[in-house]
Amino acid sequence: MAYMAIERECLSLIIFVAFCLSQVLPPGKHTYLQFGESEEVECPLITDENFSIRDVNSAYWYKDVVATENLVISNFEGTIYEGPSIVSGKYFLTERLSLVINNITASDEGQFFCQLKTGRPGFQTAPVDVTVFVPPNGPSPEVEECRLTDSKDGCLIELHPKEATYHLTCHVINARPAVKLRWLRVFNDGSTEEVTNITYQVNGTLQNVSQIQENYLSSTFATVTEVYHEETTLHCQATGIAMGDRNGAFGKCTLQDWIYPQVKRSTRNSTYNTVRMTDVNNADLERGDETLRSCADQLKTYYKGMLNTIRTHPVFARCINKIKDVFIDLQLLRETGKTVKSEKMVRIKGRRGFYPDNPVKEPLDSQDDLIRLLHEEGHVALVGTAGSGKTTLTRKIACDWACQMAGSVLSRFKLVVVLGMREIQVSQSSGLLDAIQRILPKETELSRANLRDLITNNQKDTLIVLDGLDEVSSQVLNSPPPNDDDFSIKDVISFKALRDCRVLVTTRPHKMNELDSTYAVVETIGFSPANRDKYIGQFFSDKVEKGQALIQEVQSTAFIHTLAQSPIMLLLLCVIWNRDDTLPQQLTKLYERAVDILVSHFLEKYENVSQEEVNAVKDEVGRVAFEGLIDLDGERLVFQPDEFGNSLEGGLKIGILYQESKAVCTQLVEMVNFLHKSFQEFFAAHYLATQATEKIQNELLPQVTVESIQEKEYLLRFCCGMNVNAAATILQHVNGLHEELQTQEFLWIQNFTLVLVFEAQSPNLLAGVGSRLTLKYKEDFPAMEYYLQRFSDPVQLERLNIHLTLITDQSIARKILEGVTVDSLYFHMELSDQLKDQLSDLTTTISEMQRRAKVTRLYVTSSKQCDGKSNTGESGEEMVLENQVNHLCDFIRQQPELSGFGIGLDGKILQSRKDFTVLVDALAASNATYLCIENSSLHGYLHRRSPLFESLTSMVFRCCGLTDDDLNEVSTSLASSPSKLTCLYLQEGSFSHDAVNTLVQTIAEHKTMDLEKLYLVGMGLHATAVTQIVQRYLPKMRESKTGFFIK
């Protein structure tokens, strides 16, 4: 307490002094950090290269103002603390106390303060001004009239002798702060003069140089308009912070007379390529621009009319909504080109296990980052499994371009062509221009020749999106286009045609081997948890409470949480919830609906496929799935393509399988995976449901043991849900699994019998339910209700665990307690802001119980675990936790009549000796018999705690940072007071031989204690030494496991 009081005084002093110092500070240092990178900000106070961290007692970094709530990170006497509102891992400190900022964003811009406390009086504070810059996209600066050349240094532009006026536009795209541009005329002697007849634009707005501001992402354009007289060399120069090490770079071009025929000129500029430019007033150029605008307008009209909606029902096509109203960003991961050896071994039939090289991936923040990647790389593959949102994303790109705003990352493209490969398959034509003509209106005046010229002459300004490479057959893709003047789509995606166009191809993983290795690869893995919840909120925008209820359901139900990551599956969940106000409670029923959606999606695309063919695919896929799960060498989740025979193509198209190539040293291995392991288990159960129960009895159940049953959970649940006879066989086997001790594994098996009966929905199986049950997950509660409803009298249970955190209303717990008679009742909840209300409800629940349990205990868990150090948190946090401890102790004092009452605390809940003292007093007042504290620092708290031992029969301290001093205090307290202890459990401590010897001797010599169980694990001594001490003083206790002694 004294230490913590001193620290609080220090923190208060820091705030006061920081306020004073903020009035007069030394001039600030300015530093520039690149967006998206991890960079270091040096503390201006540390200027001496020989400076040592030993000169500083404490260091603090603040953002915007020196105040506790603005603390970013600190080093207080060697211990690192992150600020109260800081995302963990965002910042860290170097040895020289520089601040490292990870994944820099615009929010990191502003003023930081470095504050040091050295041996001298007071604090030293210095500001650092931080500006975040974003380098421009593409070559910068770029002369637009030079785009059609391959030269990065510049170009020759030929002008017809009759042409008098020319326009040249130089630009820098998407930079921050805005880059300044100027045009320079270069003379033969190398001297220059600035061209003054310039028109400037920033983000589409006309401005002069003095008006260029530091907009967030700015695209700067500078157009020179002059009369041509003779050969002229012009340089466009870009200057600004965003240019980085290219600050002051030039874009170059030379204007000269048109020489016919057009050839590369042998001049001092011979490294340049030549393009021909006519006067801007030339009628041909005007007609070309008009044709381009007309084509773009027709495409935009099509996108706004046909691609601006998405379905809001997985089956009914007429249920649609505007894409701008419901689109949610997907999780996008870009492959970096590097690989890392997999941590998990992969086993394929017929070969030894191996560790493949997995690509290293980094996240893209949004769709805009994907478009920027297209600008940079040219060709990008967007890969994802069935229903992961690929098509919706391409529609969003089309609509965003059609409705683009100035400064949009899509605004650079003059043409965006979005084509569905499914339509190309239907048309049996592989021609790009034919496909474009099919989405233009019939009355269009644009011919195929017009389209060819437009795209050819504007390649760098054209984005081609080909959605669904996996949906077009190799026969169609490889066939030549019907017209000789058309581009083959195969040539476009393989760099044989339109190489300067930006190309985005979406596909499922098994088609990736048909794309060139030079493609940048981006994977979509569906929704993040935050965007999943956002999607649900938008779906139920007019039914907010209903949407919030589904969010809670998804968060609290394990198997639903897995499905909800997929956009198509989340849509299914929303539709079911909207109609029924609930989801199927049985795992089997929900997965049957999910597979039905995938099959319906497949049949919609491939109308010539029959349901019988689909069933044949499901049967064969199920057989392979089952063989993988029961492989005698261990589960196989990865398969060779030939294992599936003729069902592979169907499984890939339905979306229950995906195929990918993996590198193993110098070899590429083709591997087939299920959409998720749970889908492999579902189809394995589907296969077993069609077989005789002997197959389950002889091939599956011999592999189901106490140790392995949790690995087979979903497979067993699916089997019970699909076949009642299989359920009876499985329950008989599961009930035959026993363990000598009531371990967590054994208790899990007991509860699993309840889940299996609920899946089977058969009253004939009720006798198979165990007597030690746990209601932890959302799905456990309806399973328990189903079970109890089948009995007229209360069900006798030996033990019942009820987790209250995931249920908002304890009435369901009260209803369950009405239907049982239980020997040992355990309630569980997590520490939260609702603790007081939850404890109040629990008091009501206990008081309304008609049949009291012999043992009643409450376990409270905190997600904040102890780090092994003294509790030195922020004072505000300490106050909140102290209030929570007070609420808990109030609840404890109200339970003096409960038999066998006890408390378990797991995590950093007790913050001080005072908290521990209040808890001990409350336990004594309620005649509590049980105390368990885990993962919390209790060092120094056990001094003279005799009341602990007067009523307690069981005391457990796990991972509490105890030392010899604490263990000696326990021995002293035991020796000086009567004790009813029958169980003492100590795990993980730093104890000497003497301290352990004293404790065991005290127990042996105690007059009233009759200890039945003694657990001494991780005592800091060799296990043999502990055994010898116990055997010396307590010879009647036998050691059942290392450190576990039983009388």
pLDDT in tens, 226-236: 777 778 888 99
Give the CA diameter of the chain: 119
Residue 511 DSSP SS3 = helix
Report the percent of the chain where pLDDT is more than 90.
Answer: 32
pLDDT at 27 over 70: no
pLDDT at 418: 96
Task: Specify which residues 167 forms β-bridges with.
Answer: 225
- Please list, in sequence order, all residues whose beta carbon lies within 8 angstroms of the beta carbon of residue 250, skipping any fewer than 6 positions away: 141, 235, 236, 237, 238
Q: Do domains 2-133 and 137-279 have the same CATH topology?
A: yes
pLDDT at 405: 59
Strand boundaries in 862-922, DSSP class E: 901-906
pLDDT at 22 over 70: no
pLDDT at 347 over 90: no
Q: Which two three-digit tokens encode residue 189?
A: 């002697």
Q: Which two three-digit tokens encode residue 841?
A: 């409800």
CATH number of 2-133: 2.60.40.10
- Contact present, 427 and 435 (Cβ < 8 Å): yes
Averaged pLDDT for residues 430-452: 89
pLDDT at 880: 53
999 φ, ψ to 5°? Answer: -60, -50
pLDDT at 878: 52
Distance between CA 1011 and CA 127 in Å, rounded? 63
Please give the helix or strand (H or E) that residue 359 lies within, else none. strand 357-364
Averaged pLDDT for residues 385-406: 85
pLDDT at 397: 93
pLDDT 10s digits, 525-553: 888 888 899 989 988 888 999 999 899 88
Q: How confident is the model at residue 286 (pLDDT cuts 50, 70, 90)?
A: very low
Averaged pLDDT for residues 645-673: 80
Burial of 185 (0-12, 13-18, 19+ CB in 10 A): middle
CATH number of 293-524: 3.40.50.300
pLDDT at 18: 43
pLDDT at 871 over 70: no
CATH number of 137-279: 2.60.40.10
Report the percent of the chain where pLDDT is more than 70.
Answer: 86
* Average predicted confidence (pLDDT) for the chain: 82
To 10 degrees, what angle do helices 611-629 and 677-689 make? 110
Chain centroid to CA 708: 29
pLDDT at 713 over 80: yes
pLDDT at 265 over 80: no
Distance between CA 750 and CA 766 in Å, rounded? 13
Q: How confident is the model at residue 264 (pLDDT cuts 50, 70, 90)?
A: very low
Distances (CA, A) of 746 to 705, 709, 784: 11, 10, 19
pLDDT 10s digits, 34-88: 887 888 999 888 866 655 667 788 889 999 988 878 889 988 777 788 887 787 7
- Please list, in sequence order, all residues whose beta carbon lies within 8 angstroms of the beta carbon of residue 793, skipping any fewer than 6 positions away: none
pLDDT at 285: 42
Going from N- to C-terminal start, the domains of the chain cover: 2-133, 137-279, 293-524, 823-839+852-1046
Choices 3.30.565.10, 3.80.10.10, 3.30.2270.10, 3.30.2320.50: CATH for 823-839+852-1046:
3.80.10.10
Other Cβ atoms closer than 10 A to 835: 18
* CB neighbour burial string for 950-973, b if at least 16 within 10 angstroms, e if fewer: bbbbbbbbbbbbbebebbbbbbbb
pLDDT at 213 over 50: no
pLDDT 10s digits, 305-338: 888 888 766 555 566 778 877 788 899 999 988 8
pLDDT at 290 over 60: yes
Averaged pLDDT for residues 89-110: 85
pLDDT at 507: 92
Q: Which two three-digit tokens encode residue 517?
A: 């290795």
Distance between CA 791 and CA 377 in Å, rounded? 67
Highest mean pLDDT among 764-773, 965-974, 993-1002: 993-1002
pLDDT 10s digits, 908-917: 899 888 899 9
pLDDT at 314: 59
Averaged pLDDT for residues 741-767: 84
